[in-house]
Amino acid sequence: MSFKNKDLVWTGTGDSRNKAGDTQREEFFNLPMLNEASQEPVSNGGRSSRRDFLKYMGFSVGAAAIAASCETPIRKVIPYVTKPDAIVPGVATYYASSFYRAGQFCPVLVKTREGRPIKIEGNSLSPFAGGGTSARVQASVLDLYDQSRYRKPARKDDEGKWVDVEWSELDEEVIGKLGSSRNIRLVTNSIISPSYQKAIEHFESKYNAQTVVYDAISSSAILLANEKDFGKRMIPGMDFSKADYIVSFGADFLGTWISPVQFAHQYGKGRKIKDTSRPEMNKLVAIENGMSLTASNADEKIQIKPSEQGLAIATLYNLLSAGPRVNVSGSFANEKAQSQLERLAQELKNAGSSLIISDSNNTEEQRLINRINRTLGNYGNTILPGKPLYVKQGVDRDLRQFASDLSGGRVDAVIFLDDANPLYDTPNGREIEEALSSVPTVISCQYSRNESAEASHYLAPVDHYLEAWSDLNPSAGYYAIVQPTIQRIFDTRSAAESLLVWSEHELAKDIQASNLEVRPYHDFIQSVWEQDVFTAQSDFSIFRSFWDNVLHDGFLLNASQTEPFGEFTGGNVDSQAITKPSGGAIELKLFESVGIGDGRYANNPWLQEMPDPITRVVWDNTLHVPIHWNGTDDFEVFNNLKDDGSLVEVRVGDFAKTLPTVKQFGQLSNTVSAALGYGRRVSGRAGQGVGVDFYPILPVDAEGNTQYYVGSAEVSNQVGEDEDFAIVQFHHTMGVTGPDESEDGEIINVDEKAVMNFFSGFQGGLVDRTVIRHSALDNLQENIDKLAEERAHAQYLNDQTLYPSYDYEYKQGHHWGISVDLSSCIGCGACQVACVAENNVPVVGKKEVNKHHEMTWLRIDRYYYGDVENPKVVYQPMMCQHCDNAPCENVCPVAATVHSTEGLNQMAYNRCIGTRYCANNCPYKVRRFNWLDYTTADTFPSNEPTPFGDENFYTDDLVRMVLNPDVTVRSRGVMEKCSMCVQRIQEGKLKAKVEGRALRDGEVKTACQTACPTGSIIFGDMNNKDAEVNELLESPLTYYALEETNTRPSIGYRMKVSNAATTGQNI
């Protein structure tokens, strides 16, 4: 039985205190120091007598008896009527498919159980990203079960409310409206599906419609620069794996820029040290004002203000090129920048191969980048113009034109396709919104609640990519398939199908009549492929076998296929069009968030709860403000702000918004940064109103290109404090160095002198912790020797023990271990979201994270080290270390956490009574306690939190479909933590047993391992001498976190090595 009706049942002491529907739920654990915003401590309100005690006890015994349901319910078992061959209940089926959204393409494998997708894995068959994924790809499966999805076609009635209609009805009306329209605009983001493009072409020719392609984060300038230089609008293909020296002017190619999964995979190949005696590594130099994911990974960073990027590019060009100089007036605010650029130019000249990229959306600046790359001989080597990427095609001035056409009344029908949401994610949003009200017909082919769809008259809901057939062509010669992995959950239809129906294509009738079994659009794709793709390849002679093969692999790679491009025209760059430094004002850099992107992922709670890699803040966007070492004992913070989470007001013209701040190491003074994609006005429950929207203040340059920084912004002093500010890491530094003014500027370890400041990030005394070890490339051997010495000492101490050894058990059978390479880990968070998806880790919401109740089994710690004004960053994926001498195990009073003979630290949820001793005793702080019933596993609603909005998240059956049936859903009051994906281990072992063979290395992979785009996480059996993990763990770079505490972890970390000059402060 269930107590779902809250009014009828006494639901705990909180209920008796606040009968009047007060939804505030006070938790027992309210530490005022941690949580000043919390309510009054729970008071007893008088003495309780023994009689009360007996009453309560009697009641709880009775309640427990009822709750346990003395009468066992009758459960049914429902078999298939006709069982599909591909499905065996209880066994996962994988389908090769592809993810594409907002420019990000990723080949994937979709894991389905009983016909429903539950997990996305990378497709390791494909060389595109080598099996890597990103957090967004991992989280995309949750979007399928999004509660705010549009479920049926609808029409707005006179009062502006949606009225559900049938497809046939909608089609008829839409065709009628379109037939009487003369100026139809299709508004879309970049489309890379050949079939979809065919459908659009058909529609365009039928109605004489025009298509407006735009990208919220546009690469407009790159397209235009290449049009000027090569006569072709394109983004050339790039190969970071071949580049020894990478210079990025603000482009966050590891996190968000153009094709980050692919680039991260390529970049990662150059970061792994194979031979420590002859260490080799690529070098990454980032030139920007703050800390993007790429800048944080950079070996060296040159700090410039956003408006100085043109100047910086021109400076580098002038230093490298023998040709005519490009003169840009102005100078760098950072006096070091000029000399750093000079040194950079020198190093570039000596580098074997290089790659220079920029996120500048100024055409002339991008043309300079082209020239720098030409001068360095990168074309044909690291830049492949014959293999362009098609993932971003939008030219911003088209959107400007569209906006002015709309305002001028020159458009009478608009169709928004897929994610196109110009009302939100363009600087013209308000303008378009106003003009749209006078457009007679506005149709949305969209997926879930957003600003543009809600402003439409008709709604033609589209499929999720896991429900639809589609094809993709992300780059020349690479064709991919998107195949459905579940039947359509709702009454939806892909936008391409809708366009075919509305343009009365010959398939229109079939599409309208299509049902679950018959998908005419599948035939349409096949016919397009038969014409275009099949004929261009030579491996297959029969289309059927070609198609089956492509469907199996998920992609077709035609390596020889290139796109023709023109000769380099070599015209002069217009130096007048290059941005001039805007002087002394505070500049505001606006960037795409690694998690929620340009805003379209805002409604995904997994991504909202994934901490920002740099700031470690969840569920909010923040203003990154600079911080300085005062040279004696403390840090000076921008505008004298106090703690992280202090609210300030940002003013740009009429725009004034208040948002919380984070003190950001490495942020150039007089610059602040904030993420785009927040502050959605209309969205599903998770995304709506989270953070502040900065799209309206994005400037537009003379050519119509959107600029992603504001040259002059005002930032107020502290105006308040964000009481729910949720940040998951307070330890920021791990040995930052700076000058000591009292000692004549001698370089000292700042951490040792900084005033201790709890919960605000500056933990004096964190020096020399053995959690993190790092080295520069040129003194690697020195640091390896030092590490070996320290480890030998630690091991000597550890061997002086009275406790018995368990070597007999550990040295036979399996002994699982993981090696994490800190040099190639870029901190992107894919592993974290993969872990959430694999292990049913709940979403807890901002308030709970504020109380330090986040539940992620794997977190990525971020530490700053090196120069305090311009530090480097090390990311460390931290999960249960599966210590063979685990401190958590011997404090559990009920033996709920014990060790297995395979070296796993096991957690038995049903034995746990929630003392939390284990979490207190864990030196790695990786254990997570279910303070509330986050996944609504039991029957008492008062235990269930509401992570966002008013309703529970997991009570919805739709959302619950994403749960992995092989992993227990934990209930309130139990501890949980990383299990090393024991369900995968068991599955792999069983397969080997049944086949009567040894378990092969690499057969079992943990969720974090498969998600990683750079291959930094390797899992394996340490007892298997040939296992890759053994080789890595035995490498001299490997250390164990806090080894001297004798916990004997099974997770080894490989030292972070940066390719920079020696700092003298390493390890």
Partner 1 sequence: MYQPFKYLIAIFALLLTANVDVVAQGGDVELGNSLFRANCAQCHSRDMTSDLTGPALGPALEIWADYPQEDLYRWTRNSHELIAEGHPRAVATWNEWKPTVMTPNPNLTDTDIASILAYIEGVYTGSIGGGADQAAAGTGTTTQSPSGINKYWVIGGLGVALLALSLILWTILSRLSQVQAMQAGETPQERTFKDLFTGRTAIGIYILLFVILGGFVTVNRAVDLNRQQDYQPEQPIKFSHVTHAGLNKIDCQYCHDGARRSKHALVPATNTCMNCHRAVRKGSKYGTGEITKIYASIGYDPSSDTYIEDYESLSTEEIKEIYTKWIADQYVLENDKMDSRGEALVEQEWNHIVESLTNDVKKTVQGPIPWVRIHNLPDHVFFSHEQHVMAGGVACQTCHGPIEEMEVVKQFSTLAMGWCVNCHRQTSVNFNNEYYEIYTHFHEEIQDGSRAQVTVDDIGGTECQKCHY
The CA angle 806-811-817, to the nearest 5 degrees, is 95
Please name the amino acid found at residue 858: L
Rg of the chain taking only CA atoms, in angstroms: 29
Phi/psi region, residue 323 (left: phi>0; alpha: psi -120 to 50; beta: rest), is: beta
Among 19, 47, 75, 278, binds partner 1 (CB under 8 A): 75
Place of tokens 């590594």: 281
Residue 982 binds partner 1, judged by CB under 8 A: yes
In 855-978, at which residue ranges do the beta strands (DSSP E only) sit?
Answer: 859-867, 872-878, 897-899, 905-907, 928-929, 975-976
Residue 80 binds partner 1, judged by CB under 8 A: yes
Among 232, 798, 989, 1036, binds partner 1 (CB under 8 A): 989
Among 650, 904, 918, 1004, binds partner 1 (CB under 8 A): 904
Which residue, 976 or 1043, has its beta carbon nearer to partner 1?
A: 976
Which residue, 265 or 984, has its beta carbon nearer to partner 1?
A: 984
Residue 70 binds partner 1, judged by CB under 8 A: yes
Residue 68 binds partner 1, judged by CB under 8 A: yes
Which residue, 86 or 542, has its beta carbon nearer to partner 1?
A: 86
| C-beta separation of 952 from 944 below 8 A | yes
Residue 990 binds partner 1, judged by CB under 8 A: yes
- In whole angstroms, the minimum distance from the beta carbon of 897 to partner 1 comes to 8
Q: Counting Cβ atoms within 10 Å, is residue 151 exposed (0-12), middle (13-18) or buried (19+)? A: middle
Considering only residues 218 to 257 of the shown chain, the ones binding partner 1 according to CB under 8 A are none
Which residue, 921 or 1024, has its beta carbon nearer to partner 1?
A: 1024
Binding mask 464-503 for partner 1 (x = CB under 8 A): ----------------------------------------
Q: Are strands 623-625 and 354-358 parallel, antiparallel or unpaired?
A: unpaired
Helix (H, G, I), strand (E, B) or coil at 119: strand
Q: Counting Cβ atoms within 10 Å, is residue 236 exposed (0-12), middle (13-18) or buried (19+)? A: buried
Residue 999 binds partner 1, judged by CB under 8 A: yes
Among 3, 543, 730, 909, binds partner 1 (CB under 8 A): 909
533: Cβ contacts below 8 Å, ≥ 6 apart: 194, 479, 556, 558
Which residue, 884 or 966, has its beta carbon nearer to partner 1?
A: 966
How many whole angstroms separate alpha carbon 262 and alpha carbon 296? 19
Residue 933 binds partner 1, judged by CB under 8 A: no
- 3-state secondary structure labels for all residues of 711-724: EEEEECCCCEECCC
Residue 86 binds partner 1, judged by CB under 8 A: no
Length of the chain in terms of residues written: 1067
Instruction: Please give the structure tokens belonging to residue 594.
Output: 């690694």
Among 993, 1026, 1031, 1034, binds partner 1 (CB under 8 A): 993
Considering only residues 957 to 976 of the shown chain, the ones binding partner 1 according to CB under 8 A are 966-969
Among 336, 552, 911, 925, binds partner 1 (CB under 8 A): 911
Q: Are strands 816-821 and 1051-1054 parallel, antiparallel or unpaired?
A: parallel
Which residue, 83 or 182, has its beta carbon nearer to partner 1?
A: 83
Q: Which residues of 578-595 are buried (b: 16+ CB within 10 A; e: fewer)?
A: bbebbeeebbbbbbbbbb
Candidates 817-825, 851-859, 919-927, 996-1004; binding stretch for partner 1 (CB under 8 A): 996-1004
Question: What is the total count of residues that contact partner 1 (CB under 8 A)?
Answer: 54
- In whole angstroms, the minimum distance from the beta carbon of 853 to partner 1 comes to 22
Residue 898 binds partner 1, judged by CB under 8 A: yes
- Nearest Cα neighbor of 860 from 296, 413, 325, 235 is 296
CB-based contacts of 123-126 (< 8 A; 24+ apart in sequence): 123/96, 123/98, 123/553, 123/554, 123/555, 124/1010, 125/96, 125/553, 125/554, 125/555, 126/480, 126/553, 126/554, 126/555, 126/557
Binding mask 779-818 for partner 1 (x = CB under 8 A): -----------------------------x--xxxx----
- In whole angstroms, the minimum distance from the beta carbon of 63 to partner 1 comes to 15
Instruction: Please give the structure tokens belonging to residue 515.
Output: 């049902």
The CA angle 705-710-712, to the nearest 5 degrees, is 140
* Cβ count within 10 A of residue 925: 11
Residue 996 binds partner 1, judged by CB under 8 A: yes
- In whole angstroms, the minimum distance from the beta carbon of 966 to partner 1 comes to 7
Which residue, 311 or 963, has its beta carbon nearer to partner 1?
A: 963
Instruction: Please give the structure tokens belonging to residue 621.
Output: 């966007």
Considering only residues 856 to 885 of the shown chain, the ones binding partner 1 according to CB under 8 A are none
Residue 983 binds partner 1, judged by CB under 8 A: yes
Considering only residues 1015 to 1034 of the shown chain, the ones binding partner 1 according to CB under 8 A are 1021, 1023-1024
Considering only residues 392 to 431 of the shown chain, the ones binding partner 1 according to CB under 8 A are none
Residue 78 binds partner 1, judged by CB under 8 A: yes
Which residue, 299 or 966, has its beta carbon nearer to partner 1?
A: 966
Which residue, 775 or 979, has its beta carbon nearer to partner 1?
A: 979
- In whole angstroms, the minimum distance from the beta carbon of 960 to partner 1 comes to 12
Candidates 47-55, 85-93, 355-363, 1001-1009; binding stretch for partner 1 (CB under 8 A): 85-93
- In whole angstroms, the minimum distance from the beta carbon of 969 to partner 1 comes to 7
Among 60, 69, 331, 527, binds partner 1 (CB under 8 A): 69
Question: How distant, in Å, are the alpha carbons of 153, 185, 276, 397 from that of 414?
Answer: 17, 5, 60, 18
Residue 77 binds partner 1, judged by CB under 8 A: yes
How many whole angstroms separate alpha carbon 904 and alpha carbon 895? 14
Q: Are strands 859-867 and 872-878 parallel, antiparallel or unpaired?
A: antiparallel
Which residue, 71 or 335, has its beta carbon nearer to partner 1?
A: 71
Which residue, 621 or 1009, has its beta carbon nearer to partner 1?
A: 1009
Considering only residues 814 to 833 of the shown chain, the ones binding partner 1 according to CB under 8 A are 814
How many whole angstroms separate alpha carbon 328 and alpha carbon 1027? 56
Residues near partner 1 (CB under 8 A) are 68-70, 72, 74-83, 88-91, 808, 811-814, 898, 900-902, 904, 906-911, 966-969, 979, 982-983, 986, 989-990, 992-994, 996-999, 1021, 1023-1024
